[in-house]
Amino acid sequence: MALGFLTSELSRWDALAAAPGGGPELLALPFFSDERPLRGAAGLADWRMCGRLSRLLSSGRVAGEFGETTLLPGAKLPFPRLLLFGLGESTRFDEPRFTEAARALRKVVGQLGASRWALPLPGRSTGVVRARRALELWMAAGDGGGEVTLIDAPAGQKEMSEGMVRGPQRTGR
């Protein structure tokens, strides 16, 4: 699996899509069922789509229950397809749930046939899982294949990049 990084800035998303070879064909947006307004990349996508995601949530058509998936056209976004992925309640989210979400997300993306996709790692928008640990869990969850672009703040990207160079983080439990 090839990994790249991207910040949550619309100008960066647009530039990636305009690059030679194009950008990711799918934007996966994990979000919590009790997260309103949407945060991070999901909030930015909602803003660019003039509140379409918020309307889906407020109408009850999308709830954010764990494992719930909704595929939408990426209207007004530089990604042809948009995948909403429910993470359930934020208070129930922990490392085992992260791993479960990572595996489920990879499975859905594989079924969709996307070989180039972007996403913020589950739980990162709220800081539930630190950047380096999130990357370790993501990598340990299995090979999703293809090119994956991780969306995170510059500080999170730096932490992940350093983790890739230094190896797994040891926890003192």
Please write the tens of the pLDDT for every residue from 49-81: 999 999 999 999 999 999 999 999 998 999 999
Domains (range + CATH), the chain: 2-163 (3.40.220.10)
Secondary structure (3-state) at 71: strand
What would the pLDDT profile of 108-161 be if each residue is shown by its tens digit? 999 999 999 999 999 887 788 999 999 999 999 876 668 999 999 999 999 999
Q: How many CB atoms lie within 10 A of CB 159?
A: 18
Q: Is the pLDDT of residue 170 over 70?
A: no
* pLDDT in the model for residue 142: 79
Secondary structure (3-state) at 112: helix
Q: Is the pLDDT of residue 173 over 60?
A: no
Secondary structure (3-state) at 101: helix
The pTM of this model reads 0.91
* pLDDT in the model for residue 19: 83
* pLDDT in the model for residue 163: 76
Please report, for residues 8, 10, 27, 45, 78, the alpha-carbon distance to residue 73 in angstroms, rounded to integers and kept in the order given: 19, 17, 10, 12, 10
Cα gap 165→173, rounded to integer Å = 23
Q: Which residue type occupies 121?
A: L
Residue whose tokens read 């790692």: 121
